[in-house]
Chain A
Amino acid sequence: MSLNITKQNGGDSPPFAVSLKDICKSFGPVRANASISLDVLSGTIHGIIGENGAGKSTLMSILYGFYQPDSGQIELDGISSAFRQPSEAIAMGIGMVHQHFMLVPNFTALENIILGAEGQKGLKTGLQLAREKLQELSQIYGLEVELDSITEELPVGIQQRIEILKALYRGARVLILDEPTGVLTPQETDQLFEILKALKSEGVTILLITHKLHEVMAITDVVSVMRQGKLVAHTKTNETSPEWLAEQMVGRSVLVNSEFAPGKPDKIALSAHNLCVSDKRGFNSLKSVSFELREGEILGVAGIAGNGQSELLSVLSGIIKPAIGAFSIGEYLFNSSQPADPAFLRQLGIAHVPEDRHAEGLILQFHAFESSVLGYETNSKLGRNLLTDPNIIKEHCSELMNSFDVRPPNPKLLSSQFSGGNQQKLVLAREISSMPKVLLVGQPTRGVDIGAIEFIHNTLIKMRDRGCAILLVSVELEEILSLSDRIMVMNAGEVVGTVDKLDATKSMLGKMMAGIATDAASASSALNIPELTSAGLKGGV
């Protein structure tokens, strides 16, 4: 890790456009930014990458004046600055283009650009002056926008240009772009990059927040990697590789790395064929995913967060239905016309430990005993017919708490009063107590303390050895490597490849997570071509 690459600032070197010194920011117990120092050279494109929740947006919001840091300083061109609100940052030449545009849909482009900066004169003359200034700006930077078009009728790429013009019109010399390509088509992305290059050549400093590695490689000069609120790496772009960056983004070595005996895969418990998921805008978050999951094995799903793993879990647990494709469990087949229902899947013995235990796994306002039966309240042991008996449920919850070492073992506390690890143990206890045939697990140890991690890992292995088929989704590479029998790597909604635990190395997985299929992986995925094809061939012969 070369942290000092741009830190050659002696007394005489040119001041940095932006210099953040020891920025700290906490939200309650969460440290979003832990003493971050970052220098951005004037007139460069500086990429800031990291997974969701790594703290990139918080850092940029501090720079833009949305948040005040708990401690630390901001310097612009060597001058110490403090912003109490965005208007002060804007006055100092900082502009931000948000991921979700802040535009009035039924205003014209021109009206949107000058909104809040109309000038003191009458609106009419203000508009005319703005028009002249904007025409100049668009010529310099190649930002062509029909100023009199209604904003909502313009394509997303043009709306983004309006946002950029808005910032430049206010005199921005430092431009922050938050995930700018998330909503763009590939062509629009290319055009955006042209604009960014033009801006750079005119001396504008650009901070690009993203989690897309190829964009970082394509356009940035310098890149900083954030992970869990800390700045973990800082390097010139032409001296690094996407694989190394991917490792930096996800790689963690703090985990206890226990060695477990391999599983004994048996019959197929779940098989997915060509699963696709698309949202309302037509964005495909899951693309033709096929795999088989066997009893007595753990199939780990690795990947940088946001590459389709969440959608995969949602489809397999019946929360969303696939657009195309199907999956089968036993003799039951589920597809878009016969979608799975979470309650029915539970009856079939599919348990699901969701990624987000606060929003899905538990109901924070419920007492622990109430959360301990979420989805299982129809269990005949817990009450007669339609009625439930709180005493029986409390007893049931006590048993779960004792056998899973949930502390404090008090069913009457609110679910929100337990620590992350104990909440997770309660969810795990609930899902496992039903003796499932298939267990879908998402981020089992996110926000969980070390002691609980070990317990959770041992529990998963124990379940596997009892013949449970486990699909483990985790962004913790160490966890995947330590628990899985096979590892399936996902990138951009697709399966890059599946490797055996014994063949897998961290660097190889890192490459695959960046979307580069390796030989071993492509070989095994070639073997995985579904039987349908070979059957078709036979028919042809």
Chain B
Amino acid sequence: MQTSRLPAYVDILIIPFLNLLTALFVAGIIIAIIGENPFTALSVMLKGAFIYKGGLGYTLFYTTNFIFTGLAVAVAFHAMLFNIGGEGQAAMGGLGIGLVALSLGGVIPAPFVILLAILGSALFGAFWGVIPGYLQAKRGSHIVITTIMFNFIASSILIWLLAGMLMAPNQMSPETVSFADGVMLFKIHEILNSMGFYVARSPLNISFALALLCCFAVWVLIWRTRLGYRIRATGFSTKASTYAGYRPEWIIILVMAISGGLAGMMAVNEILGVQHRVILNFTSGYGFTGIAVALMGRNHPVGIIFASLLFGALYQGGAELDFEFQTITRDMVVMIQGLIILFSGALAYMFNPILERFFSANTPQKEMLDG
């Protein structure tokens, strides 16, 4: 992580906001070019994401996915590891859920199946993170390369299983049979409706609470535990970590387990929350977007919650754009998402030099503190 010479609030609030604004500005130009009013488009997007019936529910549902994959990237990043393998780890997490739910569903009570399935998703994801971690720590294989390769491997394994051994009989789709009754998570709208508050149907389920819990857990881990201290020390300086006796290679493996586990739990939202069976490609790019989420959220759980909300709103509001405008297609929405990832991910530090000049001109230069 680069050490910024900017005040913390600038780094955390102003820069992401400027990046977002730039992305929206460029997207607005393109929308204007194709002959639509950018401001109308923006308002449709915002209404679609937050105001229309069920919109907020969908937004938060997508937010949940991004929180898991964003946290996964962030935890690894604190040890200076770039985990690109969220897709594969989430896919394996889905497999973990499937194996538990299909083998134990109907055998033991549903709540236990659910708990074990969540554990299964984390363990399978962790396993898929540990292998590249081990290869990095002990063999020096670069984690970026291996995690990318492991995405393909995970995808192929799922295709092989879902089109073969695990495929539901008497139909043509590569998917498993549905899980036993009750092996699903409560939907938020069901809970609220039963309490007398009417809200529209949406796939939002209690995984959202699990995601927020994970945010808190990650915060405690990184900033309040000895392990987190060691992870950060290793990330900043492998030599210092060795000097202190932390065994950097084990830290790397452990961090990749935690990171993979978090990515794997994304499947809880999709598989246990909505699909109730394992399908192909349910990860649909959330793992990759998690990288942008973590970057934008500055690898801090609170930042990740807000960044996830933004990307959730984009997913849902973008779908609404597609629906409302003839000229704006689904691909257009992907382009807007791409712009946001470009400006808040790849070009995340574009405004730093300008702001640094601005702030160093307006605040007294901090002297080198001599004793």
Q: Are B233 and A352 in contact (CB under 8 A)?
A: no
**Is A342 engaged at the interface, CB distance under 8 Å to the other chain?**
yes
Q: Are A343 and B244 in contact (CB under 8 A)?
A: yes
Across the interface, name the chain A residue whose C-beta is closest to B242: A319
Q: Are B225 and A421 in contact (CB under 8 A)?
A: no
Interface 1/0 per residue, B213-238 and A, CB below 8 Å: 00000001001111101101100110
CA distance A344 to B240 in the complex (A): 16
How many chain A residues sit at the interface, stated as a range, is 35 or more
Beta-carbon contacts under 8 Å, A372-405 to B: 373-375, 377-378, 383, 386-390, 405
Residues of B within 8 A of A388 (CB): 224-226, 229
**Is B142 engaged at the interface, CB distance under 8 Å to the other chain?**
no
Residues of B within 8 A of A365 (CB): 1, 3, 236
Residues of B within 8 A of A169 (CB): none
Partner of A359, one of B226, B237, B245, B369: B237
Q: Are B240 and A386 in contact (CB under 8 A)?
A: no
Q: Are A352 and B243 in contact (CB under 8 A)?
A: yes
Partner of A366, one of B224, B233, B242, B366: B233
CA distance A246 to B224 in the complex (A): 51
Partner of A342, one of B3, B224, B232, B243: B243
CA distance A419 to B246 in the complex (A): 27
Residues of A within 8 A of B1 (CB): 365
Q: Are B225 and A344 in contact (CB under 8 A)?
A: no
Partner of B224, one of A375, A387, A421: A387
Tell me the interface secondary structure of chain B in the complex.
helix
Beta-carbon contacts under 8 Å, A405-462 to B: 405-408, 413-414, 416-419, 421-422, 425, 449, 451-452
**Is A247 engaged at the interface, CB distance under 8 Å to the other chain?**
no
Q: How far is the CB of B352 from chain A (nearest CB, A)?
A: 16
**Is A317 engaged at the interface, CB distance under 8 Å to the other chain?**
yes
- Contact (A417, B371) CB under 8 Å given A343-B244, A370-B229: no
CA distance A451 to B227 in the complex (A): 37
**Is B368 engaged at the interface, CB distance under 8 Å to the other chain?**
yes
**Is A341 engaged at the interface, CB distance under 8 Å to the other chain?**
yes
**Is B370 engaged at the interface, CB distance under 8 Å to the other chain?**
yes
Residues of A within 8 A of B227 (CB): 386
Q: Are B371 and A363 in contact (CB under 8 A)?
A: no
**Is B239 engaged at the interface, CB distance under 8 Å to the other chain?**
yes
How many chain B residues sit at the interface, stated as a range, is 20 to 34
CA distance A382 to B19 in the complex (A): 40
Q: How far is the CB of A396 from chain B (nearest CB, A)?
A: 14
Residues of A within 8 A of B371 (CB): 405-408, 418-419, 421-422, 425, 449, 451-452
Residue among A370, A375, A413 with the highest chain B CB neighbour number at 10 A: A375
Across the interface, name the chain A residue whose C-beta is closest to B229: A377
Residue among A29, A319, A344 with the highest chain B CB neighbour number at 10 A: A319
Residues of B within 8 A of A308 (CB): none
Q: Are A418 and B226 in contact (CB under 8 A)?
A: no
**Is A346 engaged at the interface, CB distance under 8 Å to the other chain?**
yes
**Is A50 engaged at the interface, CB distance under 8 Å to the other chain?**
no
Residues of A within 8 A of B366 (CB): 417
Q: Are B229 and A363 in contact (CB under 8 A)?
A: no
Q: How far is the CB of B366 from chain A (nearest CB, A)?
A: 8
Residues of B within 8 A of A47 (CB): none
Residues of B within 8 A of A497 (CB): none
Partner of B237, one of A363, A377, A378: A363
Residues of A within 8 A of B220 (CB): 387
Q: Are A386 and B243 in contact (CB under 8 A)?
A: no
Q: Are B369 and A413 in contact (CB under 8 A)?
A: yes
- Contact (A383, B226) CB under 8 Å given A360-B243, A375-B243: yes
Interface 1/0 per residue, A449-484 and B, CB below 8 Å: 101100000000000000000000000000000000
Q: How far is the CB of B333 from chain A (nearest CB, A)?
A: 38
Residues of B within 8 A of A342 (CB): 242-245
Residues of A within 8 A of B237 (CB): 359-360, 363-364
**Is A95 engaged at the interface, CB distance under 8 Å to the other chain?**
no
**Is A93 engaged at the interface, CB distance under 8 Å to the other chain?**
no
Across the interface, name the chain A residue whose C-beta is closest to B367: A417
**Is A72 engaged at the interface, CB distance under 8 Å to the other chain?**
no
Interface residues of B, Cβ cutoff 8 Å to A: 1, 3, 220, 223-227, 229-230, 232-233, 236-237, 239-240, 242-246, 366, 368-371
A-B contact pairs, 8 of them (CB 8 A): A319-B243, A342-B243, A343-B244, A364-B237, A388-B224, A416-B3, A419-B368, A419-B369
16 more contacts with CB within 8 A, not counting A361-B240, A378-B226, are A342-B245, A359-B237, A360-B237, A374-B240, A375-B244, A377-B229, A386-B226, A387-B224, A390-B223, A407-B371, A408-B369, A417-B369, A418-B369, A419-B368, A419-B369, A451-B371
